[in-house]
Amino acid sequence: MRRLPFIAGNWKMNKTVEEALLLTRELKEALNEVKDVEVAIAPPFTALYPVFQELKGSSIRLACQNLFWEEKGAYTGEVSPLMLKEVGCRYVIIGHSERRQYFGETDETVNRRIKAALKVGLKVIFCIGETLSERENGETFSVIERQVKGGLQGLGEKEIEDLVIAYEPVWAIGTGKTATPQQAQEVHRFIRAQLRQLFSDGLAEDVRVQYGGSVTPENIKGLMAQEDIDGALVGGASLKAESFSRIVRFREM
Ligand code: 13P
Of residues 12, 15, 41, the one with CA closest to residue 28: 41
Residues touching ligand 1 (Cβ under 6 Å) are 10, 96, 168, 173-174, 212-215, 233-237
Mean pLDDT in residue range 195-208: 97
**Candidate of 6, 164, 173, 219 to mutate for ligand 1, largest count of ligand atoms within 8 Å of Cβ:** 173
Mean pLDDT in residue range 96-107: 97
Q: Is 96 a catalytic residue?
A: yes
Domains detected in the chain: 6-252 (3.20.20.70)
Q: Is 168 a catalytic residue?
A: yes
Q: What is the pLDDT of residues 63-86, one digit of tens each?
A: 999 999 999 999 999 999 999 999
Q: Give, for 136, the enclosing helix (H) or strand (E).
A: helix 132-136
Confidence of residue 1 (pLDDT cuts 50, 70, 90): low
Distance 231 CA to ligand 1 centre (A): 13
pLDDT reading at 176 higher than 90:
no
Other Cβ atoms within 10 Å of 5 Cβ, number:
19
Question: What are the distances in angstroms from CA 12 to CA 9, 15, 153, 168?
Answer: 9, 9, 27, 14
Distance 214 CA to ligand 1 centre (A): 6
Q: Give, for 39, the enclosing helix (H) or strand (E).
A: strand 38-42
